[in-house]
Amino acid sequence: MTPVLSVRQLEKRFGAVVAADALTLDIPAGQKISLIGANGAGKTTFVNMVTGYLKPDSGTILLDGIDIGRRSPRSVARLGISRSFQIPQLFVELTAAENLTVAISGIGKRMSLRAPAEAQGRRDKAVELLERFGLADLADRPISELAGGVRKLIDIAMALVRRPRLLLLDEPTSGVSAEEKFVTMDRVIHAVAPDAATIVFVEHDMEIVSRYADRVVAFYQGRILADGEPAEVLNNQEVRRYVTGGVR
């Protein structure tokens, strides 16, 4: 398969700390890839570089053959990479539907200074997206009133608005109770399915990883320790020693 994202010799240092050490990775279209690793292994740095928040010291990041390594988050988003955040980044004083409406406003070339934000077309689209996550009844609730798990899903829904080529999810089940984590992940996978996006998700929960990922990339001290099918990577001796701590 042709890679959607192709990363070559990506390097990033913060002083003496090596956050990305010659990372080379191809992400083919349609895959669900999980990035695993201990805290500080370089997963979020990788996501931040791919989405334009951090500029790599060296190396290339190609999205469908276009170099995006020096582009801004806005430019990267417009080219087709969206992300959600470990701590949901929402507009807490706005309602759920208004949050989605702001995201929908970003699709066009120019925003209207006259067209009402609550115009039916935009509202319908916002509610349709919330419906995919089973949250349509919360459309008019301010974010400040909603629970953490709900916020997480709305954060992901906002990332989906642009129908991205590549969707990066930073710990989509963190903060969600053990009983609800599969329900949450099922909803995410179900909601993303219509757009057939390629998904890369950072995850610490190995049950989630083994159930939902087609492929697992294990990070350790800014390097890729292992890359392959979930069973293969999770049984890797080095991964068990440095990443999962022997937990399956």
Residues that bind other proteins (CB under 8 A): 51, 53, 72-74, 77-78, 82-83, 89-94, 98-99, 101-103, 105-107, 111-119, 122, 133-135, 138, 141-142, 144-150, 153, 158, 161-162, 175-177, 179-180, 183-184, 187
Amino acid identity of residue 11, one-letter, is E
> Which CB sits closer to other proteins, 65 or 110?
110
State the pairing for strand pair 215-220/32-36: parallel
Q: Which residue, among 172, 221, 181, 232, has the nearest Cα to 199 in the 3D structure?
A: 172
Q: Cβ distance 45 to 19 under 8 Å?
A: yes
Phi/psi at 181 (nearest 5 deg)? -65, -35
Q: How far is the CB of 172 from other proteins (least distance, A)?
A: 12
CA angle 79-80-86, nearest 5°?
Answer: 125
CA angle 119-90-29, nearest 5°?
Answer: 85
Phi/psi at 142 (nearest 5 deg)? -65, 145
Identify the DSSP state of 141: S
Q: How far is the CB of 120 from other proteins (least distance, A)?
A: 13
Q: How far is the CB of 226 from other proteins (least distance, A)?
A: 30
| Residues 36, 234: Cα–Cα separation, whole Å | 10
- 227 to 2, 51, 107, 123, 239: CA distances (angstroms): 18, 21, 34, 42, 10
Amino acid identity of residue 110, one-letter, is R
